[in-house]
Amino acid sequence: MDCSVHDIDLARWMPGGARATRAFATGTIALHPDPAPLGDVDNGLAIVEFEGGARAVFYASRTFAHGHEPQTEVIGTRGKLIVGQGAWRDRVEFSDADGTHRHTVGDFFERFEQAFQLEMAACAAACRGERPVPLTLADATEATRIGQAITASLLSGQPEPISTPVARQRTPLAEPA
């Protein structure tokens, strides 16, 4: 769930915040055994079902030999949208006697450096009251619940229901003395 939680956020946002109802996950250790004792895998696949019929398929891998390749693909009834296809560092393609090549993004940090900087700037602006916070605590809680269901399914090998959260009574904080 480490990095895929952001993909879960996107999957909830795209169909307008639809509520997830069920998750199924499977995975394998293909190259890196380190996650195994933690109940994790280096290649994982999950399917999440949402109210209204939308489905999200997540594939996360720590083994892409050609670089870091995050991608989003949305398939609808009237077309398809692909964002971030290819792990290309730039849009330059070159050919030589060995074939056609492109420079790829080496790792997670190289791929997301600018995004991290923009994210921190947006967070600071929200803390200063200069812009609204785009996500709520409820959004974060729901993404975490979905991630936990995915993890439970990975461990059990069975689909896991994602139940409606129980409303909790808010306890006011004590006033300072």
pLDDT digits (tens, 9 = 90+) for 1-48: 567 888 898 889 888 888 999 999 999 999 989 888 988 898 999 999
Q: Where does the pLDDT of residue 153 fall: very low under 50, low under 70, confident under 90, or very high at 90 and above?
A: very high
**Token pair 């609808």 in the structure block, residue:** 76
- pTM for this prediction: 0.75
Reply yes or no on whether the pLDDT at 107 is more than 70: yes
Look at the domain 5-161 and name its fold: Dihydrodipicolinate Reductase; domain 2 (3.30.360)
Is the four-CA dihedral 25, 31, 33, 34 of positive or negative sign? negative
Residue ranges per structural domain of the chain: 5-161
- What integer pLDDT is reported at residue 124 of this predicted model? 95
Residue-wise pLDDT tens digits, 66-83: 666 677 888 888 888 877
* Edge-to-edge strand ranges of the sheet holding 20-28: 55-61, 43-50, 20-28, 160-161
SS3 76: coil
First to last CA, the chain: 41
- What integer pLDDT is reported at residue 127 of this predicted model? 93
**Token pair 């003395």 in the structure block, residue:** 177
